[in-house]
Chains A and B, each alone.
Chain A
C-alpha cells in the first residue's frame, strides 16, 4: 500500500481546503502532524503495510512496485523532519491564516518527497522533483522579505538549470532505452555502456543532481536559501528536502539504474571530497550561524557522496546511514538556530555569547548535534562516518579516507567556534531576560537529541533493521 504515502497527503490538503480556511485553521497543525506521525508509525511498526495490496487505490493509480530498505530509511526521515518543521512553524509563524498556508505547502512538499522515493521510473522522479521544488520555492519566499525572495529566486534559477539537465538526460535515455522505467534503462546501459547518448545522459544526470544536492561548485544557491528562509522552512530544506531531491535521487540512480561505472565513481569521489573540504573551510569563516550550518550541510553531503563513490557495500551502507543521521542532526541544529533567532532576533554569532546560561536546553541539544556531526562517539554520526571511511579505504582509495578523517577535525573546529561564540562564556549584555523558546521548539529539540544519542547507542539494531538489508539491493 505504499501508494497511500502520496495519495494520503494529497487527500489531507483537499480535506483542509474543502471546508474553507476559517473552518480548518485550527485543524491544519493536527492533521499535518497526524499524516507525518502515521507515516513514521507505518515504517516502524507495520511491516505488513509495505507488501499489502492497496485494493482500489492500486486499481486507480496502477502502482504496485515493491519498496526496499533504502526507501524505508527515507520514508522514516521525511515525516520526522516534516513533523519537526510543523512544530517549529507553529511556534514562530504568527497568524492562523499564514500557518494554514505553511501547513498545506509542507504537506505538498512531503507528498512530493514521498513520490520521489516511491518512483521506479525516471520521468516519475522528474515529476515529483518538480512537486517538491515548486513547494520549496514558495516556502523559502514565505517570509516575503527581499532576502527571502532573492534566496527563493536563486534556488528557482539553479533548480531550473538542474531540471533542464535532467529532462535532456531523460530524453537521451529514452532514445537508447525506448522508455523511462529503471529496469529498461538499466538494461540499456548494461548492453551499450559506451553509447555517446548514454555517457552524455549520465553526465547530465549527475551534474543536475549535484546542483539539487548543493555540492561544490554547484552550491551557489544553498547558503542563501537556507539562511534567508523562515526558520521552519530552513529546518525542512536542510533536514530533508535537498537530501531527498538531490542526494537520495543520486544514491537511488547510482545503486539501481546506473550501476558501477569507473567514470561515475571518479566523479562522485572527487566532488564528494571537494565539497567536504570547501564546505568545512567556508563554514569556519562565517559569522551568520544559519549560513555556517548551510556550509556545514554542504560538507556533510560531501561525506554521503564520498561513501557512494566508494562503491563497496560498507561504504554505501555508511552513506545511507549518514543520509539519515544528517537529516536528524542537521534538523536539530536548525531547530536550535530557530530558537536562538526567535529569542535574540539576530543571526550574528559575534553579537551572541553565554546563551547556555539562559537557554540550557538549546545549548545542550546543540552540543549533542555538533558532536554527532563531527563524528564523535557514541553519537550516531560516528558510526556512519566510520562506515564511510572504512568503506572508502577498503575500496582502494586511502587518500580520500584520510581526507575524510582530517575534514572531521575541521567540522569539530567550526562547531566548537560556534558553540563558544553562541553558548559558552559570559552572557552578553542585553540578554539577561532571555529564556528558552516555546515548547514547540524545545520539545522536538529534546526528542531529536535523544534520537541522535539513541541511534548511536542502538547502532547494532539500526544495522540489522535498515542498513544490512540495503546489501540486497546492491
Chain B
C-alpha cells in the first residue's frame, strides 16, 4: 500500500507542475497533498498527516484558488506557446526525480533508520500540536497571513488596473 502511494506521489507532483491551467495545478497540488497524507498515516505519523491535510490540502488550496480567481485566462495562442515551452523546460524532470528516488532508496538500504524515529513520531496528535509544537503553530499563522497579503499585493491591485480603473497609488 505505502509503496503504491509513494509511486503515485511523484506522478501527481509531475501532473501538478505540467498542468496546463493554474486551476488544474491547484487541484493537482491538493491531490498530491492528500496522497502524502495517506502515506504519512500508513507510516504511523498521524501528526504530520493531519498538518498536511489541514494546511496544504485544505488551506493552501483555498488560498491558491482565491488567487486564481483574481487572474485572467490566457488567449489560445498564448496557451499554445506556453505549453510548448513548458514541455521543453521540464523534460528532464522525471529523470531527475527517478535518480533522486533511487539515491534515497539505496541510502536507506545502507543505513537503516533507527527505531527511535517511529517512537518519536507516533505521539498523540492533540498533545503534539498543542503541547510540543505550539510555537510552530504561530509560525503557520504568520505564513498564512503573509500569503493573504501576497495575494492582495500581487493580484488584487493588478485586477483593479486591468478593469480600467486608474491605479490609485504610485509604484515605489
Set of chain A residues within 8 Å of B107, measured between Cβ atoms:
196, 200
Among B110, B117, B140, max chain A CB count under 10 A is at B117
Set of chain B residues within 8 Å of A10, measured between Cβ atoms:
138, 141-142, 145
Given contact pairs A174-B120, A175-B113, A143 touches B172 in the complex (Cβ within 8 A)? yes
Interface residue tally on B, bucketed by range: 35 or more
Bound: A211/B116 CA distance, A: 31
Check if A142 sits within 8 Å of B120, measured CB to CB.
no
Interface residues of B in 97-138 (CB under 8 A from A): 107, 110-111, 113-114, 116-117, 119-121, 131-136, 138
Check if B171 sits within 8 Å of A144, measured CB to CB.
yes
Min CB gap A193→B, angstroms: 14
Check if B111 sits within 8 Å of A196, measured CB to CB.
yes
Judged by a CB distance under 8 angstroms, whether B82 is at the interface is no
Set of chain A residues within 8 Å of B153, measured between Cβ atoms:
101, 105, 138, 141-142, 144
Check if B169 sits within 8 Å of A197, measured CB to CB.
no
Judged by a CB distance under 8 angstroms, whether A375 is at the interface is no
Set of chain A residues within 8 Å of B152, measured between Cβ atoms:
101
Interface residues of A in 110-169 (CB under 8 A from B): 111-112, 115, 118-119, 123-124, 127-128, 130-131, 134-135, 137-138, 141-145
Check if B145 sits within 8 Å of A6, measured CB to CB.
no
Partner of B117, one of A98, A105, A175: A175
Judged by a CB distance under 8 angstroms, whether B149 is at the interface is yes
Judged by a CB distance under 8 angstroms, whether A104 is at the interface is yes
Check if A231 sits within 8 Å of B143, measured CB to CB.
no
Check if A108 sits within 8 Å of B114, measured CB to CB.
no
Check if A195 sits within 8 Å of B111, measured CB to CB.
yes
List the one stretch of A56-64, A243-251, A279-287, A429-437 in contact with chain B.
A56-64
Set of chain B residues within 8 Å of A130, measured between Cβ atoms:
139, 143
Q: How many A-B residue pairs have CB under 8 A?
A: 123
Given contact pairs A134-B146, A141-B153, A230-B172, A178 touches B116 in the complex (Cβ within 8 A)? yes
CB nearest to B113 among chain A residues: A175
Judged by a CB distance under 8 angstroms, whether B170 is at the interface is yes
List the one stretch of A88-96, A349-357, A393-401, A404-412 in contact with chain B.
A88-96
Set of chain A residues within 8 Å of B135, measured between Cβ atoms:
3, 6, 61-63, 115, 118-119, 124
Bound: A249/B171 CA distance, A: 33
Interface residues of A in 4-22 (CB under 8 A from B): 6-7, 10, 13
Check if A108 sits within 8 Å of B139, measured CB to CB.
no
Bound: A311/B132 CA distance, A: 33
Interface residue tally for chain A (C-beta within 8 Å)? 54
Judged by a CB distance under 8 angstroms, whether B54 is at the interface is no
Check if A108 sits within 8 Å of B172, measured CB to CB.
no
Min CB gap B89→A, angstroms: 12
Set of chain B residues within 8 Å of A176, measured between Cβ atoms:
114
Check if A231 sits within 8 Å of B140, measured CB to CB.
no
Set of chain A residues within 8 Å of B147, measured between Cβ atoms:
134
Judged by a CB distance under 8 angstroms, whether B162 is at the interface is no
Set of chain A residues within 8 Å of B169, measured between Cβ atoms:
93-95, 97-98
Binary contact readout A218-262 vs B (1 if CB under 8 angstroms, 0 otherwise)? 000000000000111000000000000000000000000000000
CB nearest to A128 among chain B residues: B139
Among B111, B121, B171, max chain A CB count under 10 A is at B171
Judged by a CB distance under 8 angstroms, whether A179 is at the interface is yes
Interface residues of A in 173-211 (CB under 8 A from B): 174-179, 195-197, 200
Check if B172 sits within 8 Å of A131, measured CB to CB.
no
Given contact pairs A108-B146, A142-B153, A175-B117, A232 touches B141 in the complex (Cβ within 8 A)? no
Check if A127 sits within 8 Å of B139, measured CB to CB.
yes
Partner of A104, one of B119, B141, B149, B157: B149
Check if B138 sits within 8 Å of A7, measured CB to CB.
yes
Q: A112-B142, A131-B139, A144-B153 are in contact. List 19 more A-B contacts (CB 8 A).
A: A6-B135, A63-B135, A93-B172, A94-B171, A95-B169, A102-B172, A104-B145, A105-B153, A115-B138, A115-B139, A124-B136, A127-B143, A141-B154, A142-B172, A143-B171, A144-B158, A145-B171, A174-B120, A176-B114
Closest 7 pairs between A and B when the two form their complex, measured CB to CB = A95-B169, A94-B170, A178-B116, A127-B139, A230-B172, A138-B150, A134-B146
B-binding residues in A (CB < 8 A)? 3, 6-7, 10, 13, 60-63, 89, 92-95, 97-98, 101-102, 104-105, 108, 111-112, 115, 118-119, 123-124, 127-128, 130-131, 134-135, 137-138, 141-145, 174-179, 195-197, 200, 230-232
A-binding residues in B (CB < 8 A)? 107, 110-111, 113-114, 116-117, 119-121, 131-136, 138-143, 145-147, 149-150, 152-154, 157-158, 168-172
